[in-house]
A and B are shown apart, each in its own frame.
Chain A
Amino acid sequence: MIKVENLSKAFGPKLAVNNVSFTVERGEVLGFLGPNGAGKSTSMRMITGFIPPSAGAISVGGFNMLEQPIEAKRLIGYLPENAPSYTDMTVSGFLGFTAEIRGLTGEAKTKAVNRVIEMCFLESVMHQSVETLSKGYRHRTCFAQSIIHDPDVLVLDEPTDGLDPNQKHEIRQLIKRMGEKKAIVFSTHILEEVDAVCSRAIIIDRGQIVANGTPAQLRQKSDYAGAVLLRTSGISAAEIKDKLSQLATVKRTAILKEEMHEVSARVYPQASCPNGELARSIAEVVGREKWKVAELHTEEGRLDEVFRSITLPDTTREAKP
C-alpha cells in the first residue's frame, strides 16, 4: 500500500532524510524507530504529502503523492506529531468537520463520527470544546480524526506520546486490531511498543535506515541474544568461571553480581553453538556439581540494547560532523 523509494529531504545543507526506501503492505504494522531528530517526523510528513521530498518517490495505494496528491491523501489517515486540532471547536464538531472534508455527509457523517467517538472512548467529552480537554483526550480526539474515514493507510506520529499507561494500552490494542486490515506506519521511541504492536520495525538514525526486520530478527542482533543468565548460591564466582570455561559451547562468562553467597553470571555462547545447546550444557554442569540454582534461562536479546548499539546517542551526535 505504501511504497517509498530513495526518499531524501534536505533542509538547507542539512540532510534530514537520506535515501530511505521501504514498503508497507496491507495487514502490516510498521514501527518507525529512531532517536529524536533522526528524521522520523520528516519522513512521515513526506509520506502524507505535507512537505514535498527533495528527491525520491512516494506512492500510496498506487497513487503517486506528487502527481496525484488528492487521490493519495484520500486513502491516508494521519495523526501528526503533538496531535493538533482546532481547539475552539467541540470534539464532535471537529470530528464532523474532518468527516465532511473527507467527503462524508448526512447520515454517513453522523455514523462515522459516532463510530470513532465510541472507538476512542470520547463519549464523555463529545460536547466539550477541545481546549478544555486534558492531553490524553486531545490526543485521542486527533487519533479519532485520523480513522474517521476508515482509511486503508494509517500514518501515526508518536500515537502514544503523553498518554497514561492505560490509555497507551488501549491505543496499542486499537492499532494492533486495525493493523489486520490496514497498512499502518507508526513512529515511536518506546521500544516495548514495537513488541506489543509491530509486525515489522525499521530503525532510522541520522536520516538513514540502519535496521529493518521483525522485532525477533532485530533482537537477534543483540549481543545478549542466546546468552544464558545463571544465578546460583553457595559457590564462588571463580569456581563458576572455571567450570564453565571448560565447556565447548561457552565463549565467555561475565560475572554480573557477586554478593553474600549469591552470584549472577551471563554466559555467552560460541558463534557455532546451536540455539538452546548452551543452556543444556550448563544444566549438565549444574547437575554434576550439585550447584544450587535460583535462575537459569536463555535470553532473547534486548531491543533497547540493539537500538543503542546501532544508533548514536545525542551527545556524540553533536561532536561528530
Chain B
Amino acid sequence: MSAIANIKTIAKRELSGYFASPVAYVFIVIFLLMIGFFTFMAGGFFERGEASLISFFLWHPWLYLFLVPAVGMRLWSEERRSGTMELLLTMPITAWQAIVGKFVASWIFLALALFLTFPVVITVNYLGDADMGPIFCGYIGSLLLAGGYLAISCMTSAMTRNQVVSFIVSVVICLLMILAGWPPVTNMFVQWAAPWLVNIVAGFSVMPHFEGFHRGVLDSRDIIFFLSIIGFSLFGTSVIIRSHRAG
C-alpha cells in the first residue's frame, strides 16, 4: 500500500508543479486553440456534413507530436539540472515509484487538457445526431496516444539535463513512429529488406493503431500496442536513471 501512497505523493507534487508555473495555462490555451483551428478550419468539420469527430481526432497525432514532448521534456531533465534528483532518490522510495508517479502526473495533466475539448462533443451533438461510441473510443485512443508519446518524452528527458535536447529527441522519435507505416517510408525498406523486417518497421506506426479507435473499434491489440510503448519507455527510463547513478 505504501507504494501507492508514494506514487500519489510524487504525482501530487508534480501536478501542483505544473499549475504553480505558467506552463500549464499556456499549454492548455494553445492546445485548445490549435485543436479548434485544425478541427473547424483545416479539417473542414462543417464541410463534411456528418455528425462525427473524424476531423477532430485526425489531427491529434500531429498536435501531440509537438505538445506532448513540451510537457514531458522537463520531467527528469529538470530534476537532474537542479539536483533535486539526488534528493528524490535518497528518499525511502524506489526509482520505479518516482518514475511512475511523475509519468502519471503529466498524463493526468494531458487528460485534463483533452477533457477541456468537450465543447467539440457538445457542438457535434447539437448540430446533428452523433454516434457517441466512436467519439468515446476516439477519446480513449487519444489518451493512450498521448500516454505513449509522453512515456517516450519521459525517457528522453532522463537522458539529458538539457530540456531542449530532450524535446528535440522525443519529437524525432515520435515523428518516426508516425511515419513508420507511411508508404514512402515502407517503400524505402521494401527495396532491400526482407518482408518481415518491413512488417516490423510498419508495425511500429502509431497511425493504424490510432485510426481504429476513432472509427469506434476498441481492439485489444491497439490498446496493448500503446500500453507496451508506455511500459517499454518507462522501463527504458529506469535503466537510464540507474546507469546515470552508477556513473
**Stretch of B90-98, B112-120, B135-143, B158-166 on the interface side:** B90-98
Contact present for A52 and B246 (CB under 8 Å) = yes
Closest A residue to B84 using CB positions: A84
How long is the Cα–Cα vector from A284 to B10 in the complex, in angstroms? 73
How long is the Cα–Cα vector from A71 to B17 in the complex, in angstroms? 28
How long is the Cα–Cα vector from A70 to B95 in the complex, in angstroms? 11
Closest B residue to A84 using CB positions: B83
Contact present for A98 and B91 (CB under 8 Å) = yes
Within 8 A of B (CB), among A175-223: none
How long is the Cα–Cα vector from A11 to B245 in the complex, in angstroms? 11
How long is the Cα–Cα vector from A80 to B9 in the complex, in angstroms? 21
Contact present for B83 and A82 (CB under 8 Å) = yes
Within 8 A of B (CB), among A73-108: 73-74, 76, 78, 80-82, 84-89, 93, 97-98, 100-103
B92: A residues at CB distance < 8 A: 70-71, 73-74, 101-103
A71: B residues at CB distance < 8 A: 92
Given contacts A45-B86, A88-B17, A88-B21, contact A51 B245 (CB under 8 A): yes
Interface size range of chain B in the complex: 20 to 34
Contact present for A48 and B90 (CB under 8 Å) = yes
Which of A76, A78, A86 contacts B84, CB < 8 Å?
A86
Within 8 A of A (CB), among B49-96: 82-84, 86-87, 89-94
B245: A residues at CB distance < 8 A: 50-52
Q: Is A59 an interface residue (CB 8 A)?
A: no
Contact present for A88 and B20 (CB under 8 Å) = yes
Q: What's the A-B contact tally at a CB cutoff of 8 Å?
A: 72
Contact present for A9 and B84 (CB under 8 Å) = no
Q: Is A145 an interface residue (CB 8 A)?
A: yes
B interface, over-half SS: helix
Closest B residue to A79 using CB positions: B87
Contact present for B87 and A70 (CB under 8 Å) = no
B220: A residues at CB distance < 8 A: none
Closest B residue to A129 using CB positions: B20
Closest B residue to A98 using CB positions: B91
Contact present for B16 and A103 (CB under 8 Å) = no
Q: Is A49 an interface residue (CB 8 A)?
A: yes
Taking the closest CB of chain B, its distance from the CB of A53, in whole angstroms, is 10
Which of B9, B12, B247 contacts A11, CB < 8 Å?
B247
Q: Is B191 an interface residue (CB 8 A)?
A: no
Contact present for A103 and B17 (CB under 8 Å) = no
A51: B residues at CB distance < 8 A: 245-247
How long is the Cα–Cα vector from A106 to B76 in the complex, in angstroms? 29
How long is the Cα–Cα vector from A192 to B82 in the complex, in angstroms? 30
Within 8 A of A (CB), among B1-19: 2, 5-6, 9-10, 12-13, 16-17
Taking the closest CB of chain A, its distance from the CB of B239, in whole angstroms, is 14
Given contacts A86-B17, A129-B20, contact A70 B93 (CB under 8 A): yes
B16: A residues at CB distance < 8 A: 89, 93
How long is the Cα–Cα vector from A78 to B84 in the complex, in angstroms? 12
Given contacts A9-B247, A50-B245, contact A101 B10 (CB under 8 A): yes
Seen from chain A, the residues whose Cβ lies within 8 Å of a Cβ on chain B are 9, 11, 45, 48-52, 69-71, 73-74, 76, 78, 80-82, 84-89, 93, 97-98, 100-103, 129, 142, 145
